[in-house]
Amino acid sequence: MKVLVTGAAGFVGFHLCRRLLEDGAQVFGFDSLSPYYDPRLKHARRAILASYPLYDDRIARLEDSGVLAAFAEAAAPDVIVHLAAQAGVRHSLEQPRAYLDSNIVGVFEAMEAARRSRPRHFMMASTSSAYGANVKSPFCENDKADHPLNFYAATKKAAEAMTHSYAHLHGLPTTMLRFFTVYGPWGRPDMAYFKFAEAAMAGEAITVYGEGRMARDFTYVDDVVEAVVRLIDRAPVAGAPVGPMDSLSPVAPWRIVNIAGGAPVGLMAFIDELERALGVPIERRYLPMQPGDAISTHADPALLDALVGYRPATGVAVGTQRFADWFRDWSARRASLSA
């Protein structure tokens, strides 16, 4: 099997590529190695992937017209997994143009690449933030999600609509993956848990927004990868829903799938587990909610379970320990890596 993964040097992209390579797939990575966060982390991930004989990649900007499409046509992948994006709720308040470029223009380039190379399955990362102001819990894929709370979520919702149009017009089997608070080793330094770890190890207080009242459906990265790998062979087929919970479009081979275990954890409980795993006290400073944040996220994983017989289940005690073990190692060696 040949798989093209955009955002290959990113957090989820790196873990997915490594899993696919270990399973014997031929993987084509595409990444811009953008400086949004510490490029040493991206270069280190890429170096690990480059050690696999069946890995090849292209370093280029997703937004540059036709570059990804040309790479995809040469690779002729069976599957395209589009993970490259500008992520982060808070950064979208400061740099919204970056989200327009990556998450709208970039998605158009990815769709064009899929239209021209004709993979049997086109998969793309969306986000739990797409549920926006929805107060129904747990979040189901068929719930209306028309009121995004931040520009990041708005671009992802727009991307879902864009991919639906291509699925309908070009018969392109498409799965939108709504990820819920993915965490774990090799994670993104802009994520709260990563910032918490850096502050704690430096003996500094952490900032806890929402006075600590928030809860998230934390999903360990290996569980996310397991779900995505299983879904590769479950491309949507128009007119063939798996049950009443299915988000399958009535007019296209297109669906949305929640990628989470459906077991939200309070932010304070997560910080307690991280404190235990790091082995250092974490001083908390509490501030009000940030604009664009949701109080709670809670996925209904019934559709994922119906499709592939799997639900993410790694608990935060295990997940935070694995992250902490990696974080200590990374902190010790990153200074020796060139930026």
- Is 27's pLDDT higher than 90? yes
Half-sphere exposure of 153 (CA within 13 A, CB side): 20
- Give the contacts of 35 (CB within 8 A, at least 6 positions apart): none
Residue 249 confidence (pLDDT):
98
Residue 155 confidence (pLDDT):
94
Provide, rounded to the nearest whole percent, the portion of the chain with pLDDT above 90.
81
Helix or strand run (H / E) with residue 320: helix 316-333
Residue 215 confidence (pLDDT):
93
- Give the contacts of 53 (CB within 8 A, at least 6 positions apart): none
Name which CATH class applies to 2-336. Answer: alpha beta
193 is catalytic: no
pTM equals: 0.95
What separation in angstroms does the CA of 168 have from each of 124, 163, 194, 249?
16, 9, 40, 9
Dihedral, 220, 138, 124, 119 alpha carbons, nearest 10? 110
Q: What does the pLDDT look like over 250-264, one tens digit per residue?
A: 999 999 999 999 999
Give the model's confidence band at 131: pLDDT under 50 very low, under 70 low, under 90 confident, else very high.
very high
Provide, rounded to the nearest whole percent, the portion of the chain with pLDDT above 70.
98
- Is 294's pLDDT higher than 90? no
- Is 66's pLDDT higher than 90? yes
Question: Distance between CA atoms of 267 and 232, rounded to whole angstroms?
Answer: 32
CA-based diameter of the chain, in Å?
57
Q: What does the pLDDT look like over 170-202, one tens digit per residue?
A: 999 999 999 999 999 999 999 999 999 999 999
Give the mean pLDDT of the chain. Answer: 94
Q: Which of 152, 183, 193, 220 is catalytic?
A: 152
Which tokens go with 235?
């491309």
Greatest mean pLDDT range, 29-38, 73-82, 83-92, 211-220: 73-82
Mean pLDDT throughout 203-224?
A: 92
Mean pLDDT throughout 266-279?
A: 96
Which tokens go with 156?
């992802």
- Is 92's pLDDT higher than 70? no
Mean pLDDT throughout 59-74?
A: 96
- Is 324's pLDDT higher than 90? yes
99-103, 240-244, 289-293, 326-330 — which is least confidently predicted? 289-293
If you search the block for the tokens 């709260």, which residue do you land on?
A: 192
